[in-house]
Structure 1
Amino acid sequence: MDGTLLDSEKLWDVAVYELAEHLGGEMTTAIRHSLIGSSGPNALKIIFEAFDLQPYPAALDDAGRWLEKRVTELFENGIPWRPGAKDALAMVRDSGLSTALVTNTKRSLTEYGLDTIGREYFDVTVCGDEVDNGKPAADPYLRAVRLLGLAAQACLAIEDSPTGTLSAEAAGCSVLIVPCEIAVPDGPGRAFRESLVGLELAHLHEAMR
């Protein structure tokens, strides 16, 4: 969702930089890039470690609530689409393919994203707080393919980050990568596009390894 379908990473930028100030630290580009694609709990642990803060459960919970409140405020003002994403979703649905939204974002915030995207585009949705381990673990994609009733090897994930790519690969899915904020390394079986603009069904078949 974030960075693949919606250009929401820029909104997360605002929130995490403000959270850093709230915690008395300084958000650097390197720290920010390490957060992209991470689940909420993992992102907070990265921030606490970077700022040399003790990751006490109560402190992590307070930071998580602060971040969710700020992101919610930003999301309520509307979330822009990534280029070509809306047309790509329509093409996939018109082609009769089963679809799942698989995101590390927690359910309460994902619902704001779905207000923009449209729930009708997905057969199932899987959020970061609905699995034991978020991306880069395989859990989110394994849950998605199970809910779809498909084998992972029959599925193609569209991802924008190294974290999401590793998750999809660990589950056994093929991956089409459309980088957003940070580069994703090349690797065996990985297919790449510069954007979702002009995406066609044939391109999805070509990306299946």
Structure 2
Amino acid sequence: MDGTLVDTEPYWIAAETPLVERFGGTWTHEDALGLVGNDLLTSARILQEAGVQMDADDIVEHLTDSVIEQIRVKGVPFRPGAQELLRSLRAAGVKTAIVTMSRHRLAERVTQLIDFDAFDAVLGGDDVARPKPFPDPYLEGARALGVAIEDCVAIEDSPTGLTSAVSSGAVSLGVPNLVALEGYGAHAIWNTLDGRTADDIATLWKESRA
């Protein structure tokens, strides 16, 4: 979701930086990029190492609250072509799911900003036992849709997410946003979703399974 469907990564960075600075630490852009795609508890532990003296769960809730508030005040920019691709997939009768490491309540908030019925299932990081890069989130996503993971295409913007998708057995598509995705086993890397349709996704799946 973050960085693939919506460009909320700057909101996460904007939440992390003042939190670290409140406890006397420093947080660089490179530090923030290192958290992209992580499950939130892992990110919280890294923030603790940077000096944040809060429980990990409290850090996660604080960051989530901050991002939700930024969405409320600023809105959220959808990634180029993301909503259009979703519309095309839905028109073709393709089942879709959000599989994110953000909290479920944040994912639900994002879906409320889409003006059509975009997803059959929404899975947050708090809905799975083991987070990305384990395969569990995507396996649970396929189960929620009632389909075989081998019949799924996973779209990811982070190395952690791609590792999860590839290990799950889904056809895995990388669409880079803030970090490079070469070398993580993606079946394909597209620079953007802009101009892509359900036909492109179907072709990718067929060619990857050939």
Q: 1:75, 1:18 → 2: CA distance? A: 17
Residue of structure 1 in register with 2:65 after alignment: 69
1:74 aligns to what SS in structure 2? helix
1:31 aligns to what SS in structure 2? helix
Letter in 2 for 1:87: E
1:146 aligns to what SS in structure 2? helix
1:37 CA displacement = 0.8
Name segments (4+ residues, structure 1) moved above 3 Å.
186-189
Residue of structure 2 in register with 1:178 after alignment: 175
Residue of structure 2 in register with 1:102 after alignment: 99
1:119 CA displacement = 6.7
8 Å CA contact 1:31–1:47 kept in 2: the answer is: no
Deviations 1:26-78 (A, max 9, x none): 112232111101111111112223x2667xxx632332332223222112121
8 Å CA contact 2:163–2:184 kept in 1: the answer is: no
What TM-score do the two structures reach when normalised by structure 2? Answer: 0.90
Q: 2:59, 2:98 → 1: CA distance? A: 26
Letter in 1 for 2:63: L
1:41 has 2:41 as partner: yes
Q: 2:128, 2:184 → 1: CA distance? A: 27
8 Å CA contact 2:41–2:57 kept in 1: the answer is: no
Q: Give aligned-pair identity as a percent.
A: 36
Length, aligned pairs only: 205
Deviations 1:144-192 (A, max 9, x none): 1111111111110011111111111111111111101111123545201
8 Å CA contact 1:135–1:166 kept in 2: the answer is: yes
Structure 1 unaligned residues grouped into runs of 5+: none
- Pairwise CA RMSD: 1.8
Deviations 1:93-150 (A, max 9, x none): 1111111111111012222211213571111111100111111111111111111111
Q: 1:177, 1:7 → 2: CA distance? A: 15
Map 1:62-141 → 2, pairs under 5 A: 62-77=58-73, 78-118=75-115, 120-141=117-138
1:20 CA displacement = 1.5
Residue of structure 2 in register with 1:204 after alignment: 201
What TM-score do the two structures reach when normalised by structure 1? Answer: 0.90
Residue of structure 1 in register with 2:16 after alignment: 16
Specify which of 52, 55, 59 is matched with residue 59 of structure 1: 55
185-194 or 25-34: which moved more?
185-194
Question: For the structure 1 residues 25 and 80, does the alpha-carbon distance in structure 2 shift closer, same or farther, using more than 3 Å as the test?
Answer: same
